[in-house]
Amino acid sequence: HQNLGNWKKDGSAPVLKFSDVLKEGDVNLDLIISNSSEYHSKQPERNGIAGVTGMVRVNVQGSTFVDLKLQFVKSGTNEPYVVPSFLLSIFDFDQSTGGRGRESVSIAGFSKLYLAENRDLLVQDHGKGAFTFKSMREDIPGGKNNPKDILHLTKEQKQIAVGLRYDGRSLVTMRLA
């Protein structure tokens, strides 16, 4: 994968490019994540692959947001490719002491939503398939509730995660705050 720390305000440069993330028949697909708004981070070098199961991390500075585009393309090209069905999981919704630095994701266009039964997330339905998911839990010092392996999540890690199914899409947009 290619990992770029300097994101352009106009979104013209790829933020992160991951090769061969999916295979549809004989077609290998890459994933390009780019920003379409201004991006601020004190640690952009932390963006990229994290954890043993290949989770993607995007580091956003507190009290700011970034609008992202996640696009599947034919490997080695920028040609969009519509994926019949895929899952997108978003982990680790937490916040600083006293509700400061509350993490949220605004996203739309998914066909199915997966949440833990006893979730620790505020779910705001804006209508027409648009939702915002917000943290309701303070971060545990030392990042003990941060997932390291998405195949072995703890009950607590599942409570601060969202699963989304998309059908017939090449592009997903979201706002991370």
Q: What is the pLDDT, as a whole number, of residue 161?
A: 93
Residue 56 pairs with which residues in a beta bridge? 49
Spatial contact of 168 and 82, defined as CB atoms under 8 Å apart: yes
- Sheet strands (E) in 25-65: 27-35, 48-50, 55-57
Q: What is the pLDDT, as a whole number, of residue 31?
A: 94
Distance between CA atoms of residues 43 and 109, nearest Å: 30
User: Cα angle vertex 72, ends 68, 76, to 5°?
Assistant: 115
Distance between CA atoms of residues 2 and 107, nearest Å: 25
Q: What is the pLDDT, as a whole number, of residue 139?
A: 74
Q: What is the pLDDT, as a whole number, of residue 99?
A: 63
Spatial contact of 33 and 15, defined as CB atoms under 8 Å apart: yes
Spatial contact of 19 and 75, defined as CB atoms under 8 Å apart: yes
Question: Tens-of-pLDDT digits for all 177 residues of the chain?
Answer: 334 445 544 444 457 889 999 999 999 999 999 988 888 888 888 888 887 677 888 888 888 899 999 999 999 999 999 999 999 999 988 887 766 678 999 999 999 999 999 998 999 999 999 999 998 877 776 677 788 888 889 898 999 999 999 999 999 999 999
**Backbone torsions φ then ψ of 121, nearest 5 degrees:** -130, 145
Distance between CA atoms of residues 36 and 174, nearest Å: 10
Q: What is the pLDDT, as a whole number, of residue 5?
A: 47
The pTM for the full model equals: 0.87
Total Cβ atoms within 10 A of residue 172:
20
